[in-house]
């Protein structure tokens, strides 16, 4: 059997920089027609010059692939002039609470200080992408952050707010309440619970932020995605780290899912008898919610099984050494 997807999009992706960028970018450029690129580099992408430079670097690593990197800016207080200049070069601005995850030290620590920038973003119609976690107990962080989402979504009703990589039932419920709020969901959060990460032997390659939650949370995500919720978009949050940063004391957060993203999605949508909803989840809903124009690209998969390699270079992929039912043609 063959499965054709039109212009699949990964609405949340970490491509890194330097050698890692060169190594991982082709996995996404081959499978997707575009991806939303996260700005949490060692020196955050927080100016027009850095956006342009990073975009050029990415394009160089994608060869001849018809692939659009949708750039994001790292949230900090910006002036209207700065945002007017950068507006056409970005898809949105990514807000990280300070210190919440990889390279987010320069994120927001005082939420009362973000208002002027949010006002400008609403005026200029620049979407706000958010890593929505508080600094409370790890299992409650996403739920606690809903208060912040509530304030922003109500105070700026014309601002498109995207709750990135949601993992809880509470977030799914919250989404229903606000027309201007969308969410991304990863493929690993549709599959994992905390048990898979630390319930038996600890699995560093499944450790990510937000941490996988309870079975009831995973069920709520699955129910929403497999019923075709049009406010929920696919964002892999593929976040590569070299092995020595994962298999060590102080393991870095991130699941490297880019190489398996579409085959794995096809597999789980097929298991749920809803393969026909995959096109919406990986493309149509995002185009609609963001009002995007994307490169036309048809991506074909076939139901031929393959075994995911143990590693790609120095990075261990999600589903390493396991068999997937679908492969890219």
How far apart are CB 210 and ligand DOR at their closest, in Å? Answer: 7
Any alpha helices (H) in 199-242, and if so which ranges?
A: 215-226
Is residue 247 within 8 A of residue 23, CB to CB? The reply is no
Pick one of Zn ion, ligand DOR, none as the site partner of residue 46 (Cβ within 5 to 8 A by kind).
Answer: none
- Residue 213 within binding range of ligand DOR, rule CB under 6 A: no
Nearest residue (CB) to ligand DOR, 241 versus 289: 241
Instruction: Name the residue with tokens 């945002």.
Output: 83
- Residue 101 within binding range of ligand DOR, rule CB under 6 A: yes
Pick the catalytic residue: 88, 237, 303, 314?
Answer: 237
Q: Of these, 14, 23, 213, 218, which contacts ligand DOR (CB under 6 A)?
A: 14
Q: Of these, 23, 94, 131, 289, which contacts ligand DOR (CB under 6 A)?
A: 131
With contacts defined by CB under 5 A, how many residues of the chain interact with Zn ion?
Answer: 1
- Distance between CA atoms of 225 and 140, rounded to whole angstroms? 22
Q: Of these, 34, 92, 254, 259, which contacts ligand DOR (CB under 6 A)?
A: 254
What are the tokens at 110? 């005082």
- Residue 23 within binding range of ligand DOR, rule CB under 6 A: no
- Residue 102 within binding range of ligand DOR, rule CB under 6 A: yes
Pick one of Zn ion, ligand DOR, none as the site partner of residue 253 (Cβ within 5 to 8 A by kind).
Answer: ligand DOR
Any alpha helices (H) in the chain, and if so which ranges?
A: 18-31, 48-61, 80-86, 115-124, 141-155, 169-177, 194, 215-226, 243-246, 261-271, 278-279, 285-290
Q: How far, in Å, are 63, 183, 192, 194, 255 from residue 319 at the CA level?
A: 26, 24, 12, 17, 10
User: Binding residues for Zn ion, per CB under 5 A?
Assistant: 237
Which residues are marked as active site? Answer: 237
């Amino acid at each position: 059997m063959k499965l054709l997807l039109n212009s699949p999009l990964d609405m949340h992706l970490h491509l890194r920089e330097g050698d890692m960028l060169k190594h991982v970018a082709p996995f996404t450029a081959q499978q997707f027609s575009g991806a939303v690129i996260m700005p949490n580099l060692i020196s955050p992408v927080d100016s027009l010059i850095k956006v342009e430079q990073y975009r050029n670097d990415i394009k160089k690593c994608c060869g001849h692939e018809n692939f659009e990197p949708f750039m994001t800016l790292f949230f900090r207080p910006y002036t209207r002039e700065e945002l007017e200049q950068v507006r056409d070069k970005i898809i949105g601005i990514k807000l990280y609470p300070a210190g919440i995850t990889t390279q987010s030290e320069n994120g927001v620590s005082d939420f009362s200080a973000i208002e002027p920038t949010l006002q400008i973003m609403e005026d200029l119609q620049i979407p706000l992408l958010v890593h929505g976690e508080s600094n409370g107990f790890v299992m409650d962080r996403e739920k606690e952050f809903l208060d912040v989402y509530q304030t922003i979504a109500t105070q700026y009703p014309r601002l498109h707010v995207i709750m990135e990589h949601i993992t809880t039932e509470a977030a799914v419920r919250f989404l229903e309440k606000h027309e201007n709020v969308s969410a991304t969901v990863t493929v690993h959060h549709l599959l994992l619970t905390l048990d898979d990460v630390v319930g038996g032997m600890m699995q560093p390659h499944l450790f990510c932020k937000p941490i996988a939650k309870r079975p009831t949370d995973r069920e709520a995500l699955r129910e929403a995605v497999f019923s075709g919720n049009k406010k929920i978009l696919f964002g892999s949050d593929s976040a590569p780290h070299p092995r020595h940063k994962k298999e060590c004391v102080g393991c870095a957060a991130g699941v490297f899912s880019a190489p398996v993203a579409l085959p794995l999605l096809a597999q789980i949508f097929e298991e749920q008898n809803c393969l026909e909803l995959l096109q919406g989840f990986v493309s149509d809903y995002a185009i609609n919610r963001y009002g995007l124009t994307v490169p036309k690209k048809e991506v074909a998969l076939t139901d031929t099984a393959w075994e995911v390699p143990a590693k790609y270079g120095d990075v261990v992929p999600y589903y390493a050494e396991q068999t997937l039912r679908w492969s890219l043609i």
